[in-house]
A and B are shown apart, each in its own frame.
Chain A
Amino acid sequence: MMIKEVIAIILLVVGCFFFLAGTIGVLRFPDLFSRLHALTKADNLGLGFIAAGMAVYIASPLAALKIFFIWLFTLLASSTSCYLIARFQKEQEQSKNRKEQG
């Protein structure tokens, strides 16, 4: 009993740490790409840990499966949106450069 809770708490704390790191990154990093990096990678990792912590805490296979799917979908969505934002930014920069040159 105790062990389950301890593991859960450790996982949650780790998850929170990654979230914190990601947030600091978003606030502190200089340009869009590095901010995106912080936002998606660190946050997804943080979410993963929290999800794992929750799964351990609830300790039911069905719930764990649900939580896993939540994480999976979030992962999918955030990586896609990260990619799209990055691509948009790159295109913008390219067109800007082209304008400056031409």
Chain B
Amino acid sequence: MSILIDILLAILGVYLAMQSLLASRLSQSVFLFFAFGLALALAWVRLGAVDVAITEAAIAAGFLGVLFLDALRDFSPRDTEEQQNLTTVQNSLSRKESKSLLLPRLALVLGLGLFLLIALEAVWKIPEGGGLTAAAETLLPESGVEHPVTAVLLNFRAYDTWLEIGVILLGLLAVFAVGGIQIYRKPIAAADDPLMRQVILFFTPVLFLFGAFLLYIGKSGPGGAFQAGVLWGAIGILLHFGGIPVYSWVPRWLGHLLLTLGLVFFLLLGFLFMAAGDNLFEYPPAYAGLLILIVETLAAISIAAALTAIFANLNQMKKEQPNDTAQK
């Protein structure tokens, strides 16, 4: 019975992925992608990866979906003819100009098919057992937290996580680099709808509270900095929608401080203990729990700030005048 659900879920995921790439309308594509993200989140839950599920739903489906939706306003909604070509090979057969494309496409399909077969074989042949569960279980008490995923993220593999926080900041810098938009420019007033505003104002504390809850619970259960950061970032995004651009209120230095706080504090803390004679990111076991909570809180703030800023920047992209390279 339960395996049936998994099979259905797997088929659904594959179907949604296919459809979101083959859909003829861009909006369909994006909505199907949304659905794909949620299906994937369900799959994570089925696989017992609740942390991943929250992250997936929040960032990959939620945040990215919002970005895509926002992009939809930008790109023309018309059917893209080429896309239809792709869906029906017969169509392209009848067209003269597409004939030259047929061969490469055929080659692509064949190549991918072959690749898929080998991949399936390779995945199938994976031997049993051999993960790091046992190692993690033994060392968990020394990590300062009770939830193994958090222990891995913020203690055992803290270096990766630190770099990852850097990547988010980097994503923001990269988005700046694209548009050359000044960081906290006053946004164009969003829809000043009283209802929306009220709803957003209602949700703000709820989201904040929920984020804080996730942050705290990360110590002992699914949750943590990333999930909390995304939720807090959602506050910023929602406020932006409601015409309340929080980030234009903070001064530049403060904005930067918020953005870099997580990354820098994480590193400085690491350096501090390194100077004390240990390795980078090596916390004394007694204080590890507390330190991790602080690091997580600051990281969540930085992530929230970065996500808000990324969204705000992308959101403003359309309103720019064309041909304005905006390098000031």
Residues of A within 8 A of B (CB): 73, 76-77, 80, 83-84, 87
Chain B nearest CB from A20 CB (Å) reads: 17
Chain A nearest CB from B235 CB (Å) reads: 14
Give Cα A80 to B203, complex, Å.
12
Q: Which residues of B contact A84 (CB under 8 A)?
A: 191, 193, 196
B103 at interface, CB cutoff 8 A: no
Give Cα A76 to B200, complex, Å.
10
B202 touches A83 (CB 8 A): no
A80 touches B206 (CB 8 A): no
Chain B nearest CB from A77 CB (Å) reads: 8
Classify the interface of chain B: helix, strand, loop or mixed. Answer: helix
Q: Which chain B residues in 171-204 approach chain A with CB under 8 Å?
A: 191, 193, 195-196, 199, 202-203
Give Cα A101 to B196, complex, Å.
31
Give Cα A83 to B198, complex, Å.
13
Give Cα A77 to B207, complex, Å.
13
Q: Which residues of A contact B202 (CB under 8 A)?
A: 76
Give Cα A13 to B191, complex, Å.
40
B199 touches A76 (CB 8 A): yes
Give Cα A84 to B202, complex, Å.
17
Q: Which residues of B contact A83 (CB under 8 A)?
A: 195-196
Give Cα A77 to B202, complex, Å.
11
Q: Which residues of A contact B199 (CB under 8 A)?
A: 76-77, 80
Which residue of the partner chain B has the closest CB to A87? B193
Q: Which residues of A contact B195 (CB under 8 A)?
A: 80, 83
Chain A nearest CB from B26 CB (Å) reads: 17
A73 touches B206 (CB 8 A): yes
Which residue of the partner chain A has the closest CB to B195? A83
Chain B 148-190 interface 0/1 with A at a Cβ cutoff of 8 Å (1 = within): 0000000000000000000000000000000000000000000
Give Cα A87 to B196, complex, Å.
11
Give Cα A77 to B199, complex, Å.
8
Q: Which residues of A contact B206 (CB under 8 A)?
A: 73
Chain B 10-48 interface 0/1 with A at a Cβ cutoff of 8 Å (1 = within): 000000000000000000000000000000000000000
Chain A nearest CB from B5 CB (Å) reads: 15
Known: A77-B199, A80-B195, A87-B193. 12 other contacts (CB 8 A): A73-B203, A73-B206, A76-B199, A76-B202, A76-B203, A80-B196, A80-B199, A83-B195, A83-B196, A84-B191, A84-B193, A84-B196
